[in-house]
Structure 1
Amino acid sequence: MLRHLTTALVLVVALSGCAGIGQPQPYDSVGINGLVIPTPSPDPDDFVDAVDNAWLALEPGATAHYDVSDAGRTVGAVDAEVLAGTTTIAGLSATGVRTTTEVAGETTVETSFYAQDVDGNVWLVAVDAEVGGWRAGEAGAEAGLAMPAEPRLGDGWRAYVVPGQPETAVRVEDLSRTMVQLRREAGTTTRTVYEKGAGLVSVEDLDQGWVATRR
């Protein structure tokens, strides 16, 4: 459970064939046609330094705490912190989010890195972890969309492309003016809920039954 939980949260928590950063061809999923990373080999001028997407704003120093429960019983907790400063990844200034997961006495720490393009779309560009870590532009890894600037019901996209790891598909399954609900398929099916201005408020594993809820 811990590995699935950490992987799910580290990719979403918040307060291509080239060696570039993202898929060089348009997505062909519903609602996302034509949305591509600005250049296969990214130009920093296509990106901004801050991540201020209304659904996935990353203010340095911001923290969030999530209680993890399974069958109504608390089994652990997740703490997330937006790191100060930026890290250069594939030529971009990326903002890091460090996630510490403690479940059943076992602890993991992973850091995800995000960069926002000039249109307001947020891209996952790297994950630092003991197992399964990757960085865009290295060993065939490609960034993927973390959150569009303007999500639409039915939108779908790839979360990332990493050789040797299962392809991860994300779809907007519910949407309102203040909430967006995503369904993520990556071996296990995960539902994540974001609130505008607040970021991630809950993660639910629909196969294993656990849920992480922001306190």
Structure 2
Amino acid sequence: MLRDATTALVLVLALSGCAGIGQPKPYDSTGINGLVVPTPTPDPGDFVAVVDNPWLALEPGERRTYDVVDTGITVGSLVVDVLEDPVPVAGLEATAVQTTTDLGGATTSTVTDLYAQDDHGNVWLVGGDADGEGWRAGTDGAEAGLAMPADPRLGDGWKAYVVAGLPESIVRIEDQSAQMVQIRSEAGTATRTVYEKGAGLVSIEDLDAGWVATLEQPGS
């Protein structure tokens, strides 16, 4: 379940009219019109080398720690590391984010998700690895999905990925202000993630299990 929540840090590939992505087509939500979501065919020429979207910036070498609380009791931690070395996916260089969960020392798991940002600032989920298994956009029918639009808007909805054997992942922006975006995700379990502009992901709530993971503040 923590994997689903962190994947809802969530992403994958390009914009209307970009080569290799397909032609622009209507989309039901404002803010992401013209994007082909999901897409199996990322074009490396549509992407930049960094992920610096202000809602979901990923700086190689960065570490973020979240305290996991359930019914008022701290039950563990979630540590997110942005790895230094990029990972090749369909000809582009993806940024790898490794998430390690430790729930009271009883349950430890590590998940790696792969992100890439297009030249319009949209962040995409282009691959992932967990429990010795992984997927890559463009391989075995896997399709990349959107993690964070360049210009998120209330009511936007999309798929985070399409991968055989994984539950369908549906994402929707359910609340927003000038400095905050709140997203609800359904992928086997329901999660709510909150992003702050310039700070990135600040909290994750598992709506089924009831725990909340909150970003530790510097000096805490």
Contact preservation (8 Å) 2:100, 2:110: yes
CA offsets per residue over residues 16-39 of structure 1, 9 Å max, x none?
9xxxx9798857442233222698
Q: Whole-Å Cα distance in 1 between the matches of residues 190 and 209 of structure 2?
A: 9
Per the alignment, in what secondary structure is the counterpart of residue 97 of structure 1?
strand
The equivalent residue for 2:81 is 81
The equivalent residue for 2:169 is 168
Once the two structures are TM-superposed, the CA of residue 56 in structure 1 deviates from its matched residue by 0.5
- Amino acid aligned to 1:161: V
Q: Structure 1: which 5+ runs fail to align? A: none
- Normalised to the residue count of structure 1, the TM-score between the two structures is 0.88
Per the alignment, in what secondary structure is the counterpart of residue 142 of structure 2?
coil
Once the two structures are TM-superposed, the CA of residue 140 in structure 1 deviates from its matched residue by 1.2
Per the alignment, in what secondary structure is the counterpart of residue 133 of structure 1?
strand
The equivalent residue for 1:190 is 191
Once the two structures are TM-superposed, the CA of residue 111 in structure 1 deviates from its matched residue by 0.9
- Amino acid aligned to 1:12: L
Q: Whole-Å Cα distance in 1 between the matches of residues 191 and 67 of structure 2?
A: 16
Paired residues, number: 206
Once the two structures are TM-superposed, the CA of residue 164 in structure 1 deviates from its matched residue by 1.8
- Normalised to the residue count of structure 2, the TM-score between the two structures is 0.86
The equivalent residue for 1:134 is 135
- Amino acid aligned to 2:214: T
The equivalent residue for 2:212 is 211
Q: How does 1:43-192 map to 2 (within 5 A)?
A: 43-104=43-104, 105-130=106-131, 133-192=134-193
Contact preservation (8 Å) 2:87, 2:94: yes
Contact preservation (8 Å) 1:24, 1:39: no
Q: Whole-Å Cα distance in 1 between the matches of residues 23 and 138 of structure 2?
A: 12
**Structure 1 runs, 4 residues or longer, greater than 4 Å off:** 21-27, 37-40
Once the two structures are TM-superposed, the CA of residue 44 in structure 1 deviates from its matched residue by 1.4
Q: Whole-Å Cα distance in 2 between the matches of residues 11 and 129 of structure 1?
A: 15
- Gap change, CA 1:127 and 1:23, over 3 Å in 2: farther
Contact preservation (8 Å) 2:40, 2:137: no
CA offsets per residue over residues 116-137 of structure 1, 9 Å max, x none?
0011000000111116531111
Q: Whole-Å Cα distance in 2 between the matches of residues 70 and 23 of structure 1?
A: 45
Once the two structures are TM-superposed, the CA of residue 40 in structure 1 deviates from its matched residue by 5.2
Q: Whole-Å Cα distance in 2 between the matches of residues 5 and 89 of structure 1?
A: 24
- Over the matched positions of the two proteins, sequence identity in percent amounts to 60
- Amino acid aligned to 1:52: D
Contact preservation (8 Å) 1:12, 1:200: yes
